[in-house]
Chains A and B, each alone.
Chain A
Amino acid sequence: MWAIYKRELKAYFTSMLGYVFLTFFLVFLGIYFVVYNLAYQYANFELVLSGMDFIFIVIVPVITMRILAEEKKQKTDQLLFTSPISITEIVLGKYLAVVTVFGIAMCFSLFYPLILSQFGTIGMGAAYASILGFFLMGCAYLSVGMFLSGVAENQMIAAVLSVIVILLSNLVEGIVSVLPTDSLSVWLILALIVLVIFGIVYWNTRNLTLTAVLAVIAEAVMAVVYVAKASLYEGLLEKIAGCLALGSRYNNFSMSILDLESCVYFLSAIVIFLVITIQTLNRRRWS
């Protein structure tokens, strides 16, 4: 695992990628710091980070797109998968490397509250809690990006996919808020989404009977639930959207709250995406 970690980390800094990422991140951090803290004279560093959370749409694709897709394209995965190490070690090594790169960038943000404290008293706890929250949110996004890099054919597709996914997770609550909330419409919308999901499953597996049977069962269960207890569907879309909106989990941190629930949420997201990345790579050997 450490061999992979070391190689991966080195690769970021032998190519321009690592430097471009660091520069981009630090420039934006500096600009937001100057604008919020120095120009507008807010004493809260939390606001700087919450202001620049859009940055993940750019930096996550940049540092995760090649991580697995490139190995596949260059066939170097043949070396990794025929070496006496497990896929879990490969994935963990790579993930830790990308987290380290992001961590290096985040280390610089540790100085800003100290700079601010020179000008008066500031809530140090809140500032550092928000840095922790921001870091965990970034790690969760990175695990999503890595998973998409494992799915995609090449790094361009991986980059586009992660932009779309991060964008959607930011917009999903907004989209849902304009949709109707009564139980009938929610049921119909969910039924449609389930159909689309099974369509994607069929496209991937090419197994018509299995996907059709599963789709029919899922739709039937949803119909039965609607007949038995329609009230369950009321407002369900918002709840689901709340689960998917990774970015909005940061809101509490920006209001100076150390939100442990969100920390657990980020950590779970990381674990889930690492596990499905490992599963995807494993499954690809079978197809």
Chain B
Amino acid sequence: MIEVRNLTKKYGDHKAVDSLSFTVEQGEILGFLGPNGAGKSTTMNMITGYISASEGTAEIDGHDIFEEPEEAKKCIGYLPEIPPLYGDMRLREYLKFVAELKKVKKSERKNTLDEVMKLTSIKEMENRLIKNLSKGYKQRVGLAAALIGNPEVLILDEPTVGLDPKQIIEIRDLIRDLARNHTVILSSHILSEVAAVCDRVLIINKGKKIVIDTPENLSRRMGGSSGVEMKIKGEEGIVKEVLSGIEGVTDVSIKKGKHEEGIVYLTVYSSKEKEEELGEAIFYTLAENRCPILEMKAASMSLEEVFLEVTNDTHASKKKRRLLDSEKEKEEA
């Protein structure tokens, strides 16, 4: 549905977006993740034809945005970072203007407007001046404008900014509903949002693609050697010794800082091969040594940690990234 090839935007010598390539299938929700200034908005502005690319191109439903802009733009509903609203217009009047811009047929205009206002629940505000609306309402008006003309592709730049928690949940549900018959790209730096809504996540940093995958795969793969987090009743020395003795265990790290008499907090890491039997082995070994397990859970990295990891340019993260790449190559092979 959307094919982005080698997209690059240069400002002088600075590359805001650096040869970015990805595809989005029909009905998919792709999340754009990256720290501020990573090039998320710039990329979206290029895909929607607001600014031109220095190199590369984007195709929407087979129409090149730079070669056949009008055809391509017809397929896109775009909600920019700051919703492009005219403060001196009334809400309904504004949406009607957008419908005219998008060449919605006169006979369908009224229905279209009522439908998008109902979807974004702004109907009761239709006669208000836009400049008098609150930020949350403005955001929803922007979303309603993007939905006009029933475009196949929705590109939403931080759609939940400025909304209250209830509205955020509503908008997320709305986006998920819309994804049934739309293709959606949304950007955010709220990770839980991306994890909750998106089918796939594209993480970019400094204009470069770092990784693209499903949220689950990302957390799993970035976990590296996976471990088990535990809370155990017993002597620290004994527990550590016993656990280290289990076959396949590579490391036992005691969590410092939590002081409770007779309680040990720790994480056990094992090699990949023994990963599956680890839980069972730990359970029986500790039972034999009469050290009751109070809590036990898999220690996989949250998306939050993945994000910090891959966008942080330390040595460790580079190593991890290489690991990711090599794993990907193996998968592809």
Contacts and interface: CB of A to CB of B under 8 A. Distances in A.
B102 interface: yes
Contacts of B100: 2-3, 6
Q: Which of A78, A86, A285 is the most central at the interface, judged by chain B CB atoms within 10 Å of its CB?
A: A78
B86 A83 contact: no
A77 B97 contact: no
A15 to B, nearest CB: 6
A70 to B, nearest CB: 9
Nearest to B85: A76
Given A11-B88, A84-B103, A85-B70, A79 B98 contact: yes
A80 B145 CA distance: 12
Contact of A74 (B70, B71, B84): B84
A111 interface: no
Contacts, number: 67
A82 interface: yes
A76 B130 CA distance: 13
Nearest to A86: B70
Contacts of B74: 84
B101 A75 contact: no
**Interface residue tally of chain A, by bracket?**
20 to 34
Contacts of B49: 81-82
Interface stretch (B75-83, B118-126, B321-329): B75-83
A206 interface: yes
Contacts of B73: 82-84
Nearest to B88: A14
Contacts of B70: 84-86
A82 B48 CA distance: 6
B266 to A, nearest CB: 52
Contacts of B89: 7, 11, 14
Contacts of A15: 88
A119 interface: no
B52 interface: yes
Q: Which of A11, A81, A83 is the most central at the interface, judged by chain B CB atoms within 10 Å of its CB?
A: A83
Contacts of B88: 11, 14-15
A79 B84 contact: yes
A85 B86 contact: no
Given A11-B86, A85-B70, A206-B12, A79 B101 contact: yes
A286 interface: yes
A3 B50 contact: no
Interface of A is mostly: helix
B89 to A, nearest CB: 8
Nearest to A2: B100
Nearest to B54: A286
Contacts of B316: none
A281 to B, nearest CB: 12
Contacts of A7: 86, 89, 97
A282 to B, nearest CB: 9
B131 to A, nearest CB: 11
Contact of B50 (A11, A82, A84, A85): A82
A78 B97 contact: no
A285 B101 contact: no
A84 B102 contact: yes
B196 interface: no
B174 interface: no
Contacts of A78: 45, 50, 78, 80, 84
Nearest to B90: A14
B254 interface: no
A83 B74 CA distance: 7
B51 interface: yes
B8 to A, nearest CB: 13
Nearest to B145: A79
A80 B71 CA distance: 15
Given A85-B70, A86-B70, A80 B85 contact: no
Contact of B51 (A6, A83, A285): A285
Contacts of A75: 80, 82, 84
Q: Which of B74, B101, B103 is the most central at the interface, judged by chain A CB atoms within 10 Å of its CB?
A: B101
A171 B160 CA distance: 55
A80 B101 contact: yes
Q: Which of A15, A80, A81, A86 is the most central at the interface, judged by chain B CB atoms within 10 Å of its CB?
A: A81
B78 A3 contact: no
A77 B80 CA distance: 11
B308 to A, nearest CB: 30
Contacts of B102: 83-84
Q: Which of B45, B50, B70, B98 is the most central at the interface, judged by chain A CB atoms within 10 Å of its CB?
A: B50
B235 to A, nearest CB: 64
Given A75-B82, A206-B12, 15 more contacts: A7-B89, A11-B86, A74-B84, A75-B80, A78-B45, A78-B50, A79-B101, A82-B48, A83-B102, A84-B70, A84-B71, A84-B102, A84-B103, A86-B69, A285-B51
Interface of B: 12, 45, 48-52, 69-71, 73-74, 76, 78, 80, 82, 84-89, 97-98, 100-103, 145
Closest 8 CB pairs of A and B: A3-B100, A79-B84, A83-B101, A76-B84, A84-B73, A82-B48, A84-B74, A78-B84
22 contacts: A2-B100, A4-B101, A6-B97, A6-B100, A7-B89, A11-B86, A11-B89, A74-B84, A76-B85, A77-B84, A78-B50, A78-B84, A79-B84, A82-B73, A82-B78, A83-B98, A84-B69, A84-B101, A84-B102, A86-B70, A285-B50, A285-B51
